[in-house]
């Protein structure tokens, strides 16, 4: 069972978000809500790659810096970054200065441009991998058959830093999976939005 606890307003929430107001705001307004905007999807999968080995709170604290550093995650612009940009980013204390992850985001931006040309949008591609059963918020999972399939499909297209665990966190973040705890106050809001959401084709 995914643990939950009372928030500052007395409502039950997923316990992972209760440490800070920043976490609560992200949990209440972003995590699990379905996303179809390509730039936001590229941002989410890029930040999940940066999060590997770190806490999500570290990434959330630095998110505005990441956005400024990576052209608001406009992947058409990021795909044109050069080694000069890599060196600039390695000197930027506002982000995670990991050369492999920085280079992967730039590399993946070029793959994203290719995907849009081939598939119409990133959203149309990603939303082909919904879970066979919706998240119930009852299991602590690191990866699933669907995240393994999406990770494999991305790697076949040349994407980097997209292992099945990173991809599952991305699927949670973008709303493909609703892993809010069963008694979490935000779970019902996510479910309602998912009912009204039309996955891109």
Catalytically annotated residues: 26, 48, 56
Please name which of 33, 45, 12 lies closest in space to residue 150, comparing C-alpha atoms.
45
* Beta pairing partners, 6: 12
Q: 92 vs 44, 70, 95, 160, 169, CA distance in Å? A: 20, 11, 6, 22, 25
Can you say whether residue 178 is alpha, beta or left, with left for phi > 0 and alpha for psi between -120 and 50 degrees?
beta
Q: Is residue 69 a contact partner of residue 186, using CB atoms and an 8 Å limit?
A: no
Number of other residues whose CB lies within 10 A of the CB of residue 72 = 12
Instruction: Concatenate the DSSP letters of all residues of 112-157 into one string.
Output: HHHHHHHHS-HHHHHTT---SS---S----S--HHHHHHHHHHHHT
| Residues annotated in a binding site for Zn(2+) | 14, 27, 180, 184
| Residues annotated in a binding site | 14, 27, 180, 184
| Helix pair angle (56-69, 38-51), 10° resolution | 130
């Amino acid at each position: 069972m995914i643990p939950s606890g009372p928030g500052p307003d007395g409502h039950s929430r997923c316990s992972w978000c209760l440490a800070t107001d920043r976490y609560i705001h992200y949990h209440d307004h972003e995590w699990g809500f379905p996303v179809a905007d390509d730039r936001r999807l590229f941002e989410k999968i890029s930040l999940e790659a940066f999060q590997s080995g770190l806490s999500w709170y570290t990434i959330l604290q630095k998110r505005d810096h990441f956005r400024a550093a990576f052209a608001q995650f406009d992947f058409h612009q990021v795909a044109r970054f050069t080694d000069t940009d890599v060196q600039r980013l390695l000197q930027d204390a506002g982000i995670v200065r990991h050369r492999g992850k920085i280079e992967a985001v730039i590399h993946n931006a070029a793959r994203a441009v290719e995907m849009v040309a081939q598939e119409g949008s990133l959203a149309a591609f990603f939303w082909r991998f919904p879970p066979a059963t919706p998240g119930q918020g009852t299991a602590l999972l690191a990866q699933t058959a669907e995240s393994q399939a999406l990770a494999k499909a991305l790697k076949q297209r040349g994407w980097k830093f997209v292992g099945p665990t990173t991809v599952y966190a991305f699927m949670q973040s973008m709303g493909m999976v609703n892993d809010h705890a069963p008694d979490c106050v935000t779970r019902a809001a996510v479910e309602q939005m998912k009912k009204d959401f039309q996955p891109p084709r």
